[in-house]
A and B are shown apart, each in its own frame.
Chain A
Amino acid sequence: MDKVIDFEHKMAAHCETGTLTALLNYNGLNITEPLVFGIANGIFFGYLDSSNFPFPTIIVRSRPGQVRENISKRLNVKLNKWRFKDPDKGESKLDELISKGIPTAAQVDFFYMTYMPDWQRVHINVHFINIIGKKDDKYIISDSYYPRKSELNSDMMRKARWAGGFMAPKGFMYYPDEIPENIDFKKPVIKGIKRACRNMISLPVPFVGVKGIYKFADKIKEWPSLVRDTDHLSHEIMKINILLEDQGTGGAGFRFMYATFLQQAAEILNNNNLLDLSKRMMENGDKWREISYFAAKIGKNRDLGNDRIEELSLLIKKRADEEKDFFKELRKAV
């Protein structure tokens, strides 16, 4: 089967929002990646230190898949979705969709995206790509992390779609089937903002939202007692930088993307308060980026004495203070 769909390839800040945005755009809905992120209340914070994790970690966005589900619900977009236990069936369904000219998003293990530079490829089971054709047994890929369209042979695609482990893709794929005409973004934008505020300041859970940031600030002081040695501590501290900046976060743990969303929301709702809040969130993002840099630097230099960890903790606490005020203001603004 040789079929290549005429699909506009664009890079994006984050794979899940980027893939969904590209599919919505292809199907005629004019929407930006930050708007998708904001309407779906993608902004989040969580400090996770359960026994399921080898070491405490942070999350800076809603769980994978939630952006897609929230967009479907709030914009009334019908998504056709599948998971397959049997790779033969999964591959054959994908080929059927491609042959019909339907660009389809697939969940994959990022490690098998062999067109990416080797140093970037790590095992992450929740990477999303758009598959936009098949030629000479190679799939044509639009990966929002790669500057151009690329190719992946069917064996590698199979490995990527049926990789095992935590959050295994299980052949998951989807495409938007029905999109309403003339969507009014006002209500979905307000809903997305209100839900983000609820998640950040009102959930009675001690490790999510602003409470999670406070917990992070507090618990990081205990990290030196949880590690094997200085190298281990250095590794974990430097990971803060990766989690905030280098996992498709759009920069500063998705705070820059949320600021851009608020800028667009201000226009949609004709609400200048949101414009001011957008600028404030951008500055908040700058401060998160400083945390990221500080963590990377002390980690790299093995400059990990108690005073440094205290300093890092204080920087994080300041973000918690700021986001607590910020989301209260934001809730009042809509």
Chain B
Amino acid sequence: MARRRGRAARDGVRSLGLLLLFCLLVAATLWSVATGSTRIPLATVWDAVSSFDGSREHLLIVMIRLPRVLAAVLAGSALAVSGAVMQAVTNNPLASPGLLGINAGASFAVVLVITLFGAGSGGTFIWVAFGGAALAALLVHVLGSFGAAGQSTIGIVIAGAVVASFLTALTSAVLIFDQNTLDAVRLWTAGSVSGRTMTQNASVAPYILAGLSAGLLLARHLAILSLGREAARSLGQNQAVWRTASIVVVILLAGGAVALAGPIGFVGLVVPHIVRLAIGVDYRWILPFSAIGGAFLVVVADLAGRLIFHSQDFPVGVTTALFGAPFFLWLARNRAGRPA
């Protein structure tokens, strides 16, 4: 009785925390839209969305700032959730979407296309990146479950390391001989949400939203997967099915994110850890917290990059680490490796 009440109270605190984090995300988003080379009052932001009149300020909001912050929200939540899913599936704290070869695949595809066909227009490579990421991840999944029918997570870990180092090696082999491609691709590689358009957001959003909802629905099965092979088997879970489903979710999420914002490594790896250190190991809470926390981190990092470095192009991949890492270090030092 007392334990049940304790759990209900803890869930209450967590719900409140989630709500608070969501409010923070909304506030950061609004602030981000209002801030820039010209400050725009929030009322105008609202007008631009509800009754667009084609003025300069409205154009600025609708064409530039909203797409940018939306890309940050989408990419941040997708990366964080896919990272949490990966860590649950492989049962390994070092796992991240990058382990599936997502980032290496996207980078290689983009570099290949630039080398062969030139930089093209817009500087973004949505479908190329998405395709490369998905192909690499599928390859890792097939190799990793080859023969042993997905029985061991070590298979996928090694397959991931192999495919990722193979593709990374190919990428650097191209880049160290082709300076033009290196110049064209290096800002994208750093991870950026600068100059994204609504069309790009709209084309990737369905995949990310599908991945997010599927991920949240999978939470219970992920919690069981994360207990390890023996425990999951004794609970009667069909691991091959749920592991495959989880991998599909990761491909949708991380593939979409890398297509939108480039290969950002930090969010997928670290946000799930931050959440776990802060609220505990229950995946039904880790996933929603990661979704909102990841979005919050990327929005704030992008905003901070613009405010502090006075540059529209400061890569968000750098600022996420710059602001997220100290917090993460503090948490890891104080919370990790002692009984919960």
A complexed with B: no
Chain B residues within CB distance 8 Å of chain A? none
Q: Which residues of A contact B (CB under 8 A)?
A: none
